């Protein structure tokens, strides 16, 4: 099978070079704007790959068919994505793929015209227990969703960017997971959003890092949602992050706590205990590859995929 000629740009985020061995469909041809230690490791494993730190040359001179973007500054990423799409190159971009609605709409418009496909690294739904929770919602077991409560928490560290242009900041970088819980897992479209943030706990001078955020609003079906995001997670829990999702319906409730280590479903007066997570689930990047190679449609439309990013952009604007 013909391989997809892949370029990697930047490593500010979940760059996919650690997963390349799991995806033999790729042929790594060029890397750029990546830390020297990662460059050395990649060139040892993929000796035919080239090192190129001129983005224009990467998208024009190497026959690249797909590029994975984890840009040094997330504020530049939308422009990089559009330039690649305009060349017919598939783009896989770290979150948030854009920091303004104008740039988000530019990406969507460019993808609509391009032979290349675009996806944000938006695989939250494709992880357990969230994949199984969505199936339960779809089954109707908990009835109509009335309220969704979600949390995403990460640890604080000195390397957290002081400038939100680097990674999008707490709301767009971390909060987007919680909104994906609402829209992608609970399958509820958000109607409006209200956001508050706090820098309390950030001790570094000249830093705009938000330490905590909450955002809430109405759902299009008339229900409500509430989310929190913060950099207040403590590593003693044993997980890198602490996620929580509770979906309340007219017939019952499902929940996942402590990064998926505890799950539960209650219907009426019956406690079903832990969710059954034994069913096979697809991998988000695998699904993107199938879309490229086989023309298979992704589960979510691009508008649906990027809707949580859009709402986080709006939350940042209206806080």
Tens of pLDDT along the chain (319 residues) come to 689 999 999 999 999 998 999 999 999 999 999 999 999 999 999 999 999 999 999 999 999 999 999 999 999 999 999 999 999 999 999 999 999 999 999 999 999 999 999 999 999 999 999 999 999 999 999 999 999 999 999 999 999 999 999 999 999 999 999 999 999 999 999 999 999 999 999 999 999 999 999 999 999 999 999 999 999 999 898 899 999 999 999 999 999 999 999 999 999 999 999 999 998 999 999 999 999 999 999 999 999 999 999 999 999 876 5
Report cis status (omega within 30 of 0) of the bond before 72. no
Q: Does residue 238 sit in helix, strand or coil?
A: coil
Give pairs for 277-283: CB < 8 Å, separation 24+.
277/128, 277/129, 277/132, 279/131, 279/132, 279/135, 281/126, 281/128, 281/131, 281/132, 282/126, 283/123, 283/126
Length of the chain: 319
Tell me what pLDDT residue 318 has: 61
Predicted local confidence at residue 235, as pLDDT: 86
Q: Please give the pLDDT value at position 317.
A: 72
| Owner of token pair 């809430």 | 216
pTM of the model: 0.96
Q: Burial of 191 by CB count in 10 Å (0-12 exposed, 13-18 middle, 19+ buried)?
A: middle
Contacting residues for 253 by C-beta, under 8 A, at least 6 apart? 142, 246, 247, 264, 265, 266
Cα–Cα distances in angstroms (integers) from residue 124 to residues 44, 102, 177, 183, 235, in the given order: 31, 24, 7, 11, 21
Q: Report the distance separating Cα 11 and Cα 99, nearest Å.
A: 18
Task: With both helix axes pointing from N to C terminus, report the angle between 101-113 and 302-318 in degrees, rounded to the nearest 10.
Answer: 160
- The helix/strand/coil state of 134 is helix
The reported pLDDT for the residue numbered 313 is 97
Helix, coil or strand: residue 244: strand
Tokens of 253: 């409730």
Residue with the two structure tokens 């706590």: 257
Q: How far apart are CA 309 and CA 306, in angstroms?
A: 5
Of 48, 88, 83, give the one whose Cα is nearest residue 69: 83
């Amino acid at each position: 099978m013909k391989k997809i000629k892949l370029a990697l740009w930047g490593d500010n985020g979940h760059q996919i070079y650690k997963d390349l061995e799991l995806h033999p469909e790729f042929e790594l041809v060029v890397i750029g704007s990546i830390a020297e230690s990662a460059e050395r490791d990649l060139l040892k494993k993929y000796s035919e790959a080239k090192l190129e730190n001129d983005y224009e040359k990467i998208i024009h001179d190497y026959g690249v068919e797909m590029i994975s973007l984890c840009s040094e500054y997330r504020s530049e990423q939308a422009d990089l994505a559009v330039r690649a799409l305009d060349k017919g190159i598939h783009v896989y971009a770290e979150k948030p793929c854009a920091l303004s609605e104008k740039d988000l709409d530019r990406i969507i418009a460019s993808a609509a015209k391009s032979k290349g496909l675009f996806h944000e690294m938006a695989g939250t739904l494709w992880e357990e227990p969230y994949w199984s929770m969505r199936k339960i919602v779809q089954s109707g077991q908990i009835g109509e969703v009335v309220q969704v409560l979600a949390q995403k928490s990460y640890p604080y560290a000195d390397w957290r960017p002081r400038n939100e242009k680097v990674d999008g900041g707490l709301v767009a970088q971390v909060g987007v997971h919680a909104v994906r819980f609402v829209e992608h897992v609970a399958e509820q479209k958000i109607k409006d959003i209200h956001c508050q943030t706090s820098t309390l706990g950030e001790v570094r001078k000249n830093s705009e890092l938000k330490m905590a955020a909450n955002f809430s609003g109405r759902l299009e079906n008339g229900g409500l949602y509430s989310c929190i995001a913060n950099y207040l997670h403590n590593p003693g829990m044993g997980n890198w992050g602490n996620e929580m999702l509770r979906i309340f319906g007219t017939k019952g409730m499902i929940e996942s706590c402590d990064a998926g280590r505890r799950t539960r479903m209650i219907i009426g007066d019956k406690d079903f205990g832990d969710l059954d997570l034994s069913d096979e689930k697809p991998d988000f990047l695998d699904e993107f590859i199938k879309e490229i190679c086989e023309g298979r449609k992704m589960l979510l439309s691009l508008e649906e995929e990027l809707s949580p990013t859009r709402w986080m952009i709006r939350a940042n604007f209206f806080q």
